[in-house]
Amino acid sequence: SGPNNFLENLEFLIDFVQSPYLTDENVEKEKGIIEQELKMYLDDPFWSMYDGIRENCFTKNPTRYPIGGTVESIKKIDKKELYRCYNTFYHPSNMFIVITGNFDVDETVNLIRENQLKKDYKKMNPIKLKSYKEVDKVLKEKTVVNKNTDTPKLAYGIKINTEKLGLKDKRKEEFYLYILFELLFGITSEFNEEELTKGYLSSSISIDRISIETHTLVILLAETLHPEELSKEIDNKLKNITIEPNDLEMLKRSMISSRINLFDNIINLNDAIVNNIIEYGTVDDTFISFVDELNMLELNNIIKKIDLSNTLQYIVMPFE
């Protein structure tokens, strides 16, 4: 992003991405930098929870491993392997570009087209994707670790087999799961207010989701002086789910409002379009009508089918 020399910088970006320069020396230097970053993350309590709960949830899928790798795996990387990775994935047929802001579309497209016509690429071989048979049960139900932190922290995970929900539309599946857990545990939920009043929460719960082909891991992240008690409260809430139609309608209006406001920020808008293309293979231009059609009948049907029994906890405690 930047205010000046848009076309020159765009061409520089394209050439930069399509012209890798790797040497034994710069690879070794970068490995040292990444190693230091990994060690820094190991000391961070929130990163510890995020990595730990993924590792304890999944049994087969490589999502269970930290995306940055480990110090040991980083040391094994060399220039040859990086070029092999680049030549497998970084091909124009496996790339897309998203530009948001005030620019001349025709002029920009012509620049991209002329840039690509100067380059000669071999036809890309099909990328073979390995499939992993993931089980419903979590690998490890509970872990407690000590870290340098002032307040105990809880990561509560729910592993959900999304194939059993019977939804063929992946986007609808993800939206209903988002809605369900926002209404149950989000910042405006009764649960959040009650637990803050009881003193079981130091701040509102953060909700994250990690999806693979057959399962979704919903993660509730919280700072709490009472992680064991809060875990039991979450257990009870998952066993007694009630959603009011008015709450669903209010959340839908909030989602639509947030999407409209997104157009005031070209960087956030760019991120949203990129995520749409990665997740759904297209630009989402039906968001408002799509959200508007979500309803209590379908949500209740999901609640009836969903299995919320495969849970796990990752607790970070201060050193005594």
Which string of DSSP letters, residue by residue, matches 95-159?
A: ------SS--HHHHHHHHHHHHHT---PPPPPPPPPP----SS-S-SEEEEEES-SS-EEEEEEE
Region of residue 319 (phi > 0: left; psi between -120 and 50: alpha; otherwise: beta): beta
CB 185 within 8 A of CB 205: yes
Best CA proximity match to 49, nearest among 149, 135, 134: 149
Calculate the CA 183 to chain-centre distance.
Answer: 19
Q: At what angle do helices 266-280 and 170-185 cross, to 10 degrees?
A: 120
Region of residue 247 (phi > 0: left; psi between -120 and 50: alpha; otherwise: beta): alpha
Q: What pLDDT, on the 0 to 100 scale, is given for residue 44?
A: 87
Q: What is the residue type of 201?
A: L
Best CA proximity match to 221, nearest among 212, 234, 240, 211: 234
Per-residue pLDDT of the chain (320 residues; tens, 9 = 90+): 888 999 999 999 999 999 999 999 999 999 999 999 988 888 888 888 999 999 999 999 999 998 888 889 999 999 999 999 999 899 999 999 999 999 999 999 999 999 999 999 888 888 888 999 999 999 999 999 999 899 999 999 999 999 999 988 889 999 999 999 999 999 999 999 999 999 999 999 999 999 999 999 999 999 999 999 999 999 999 999 999 999 999 999 999 999 999 999 999 999 999 999 998 888 888 999 999 999 999 999 999 999 999 999 999 999 88
Q: What pLDDT, on the 0 to 100 scale, is given for residue 62?
A: 93
List of long-range contacts for 88-96, beta carbons under 8 Å, 24+ apart:
88/127, 89/127, 90/17, 90/18, 90/20, 91/121, 91/124, 92/18, 92/116, 92/121, 93/124, 94/124, 94/127, 95/17, 96/277
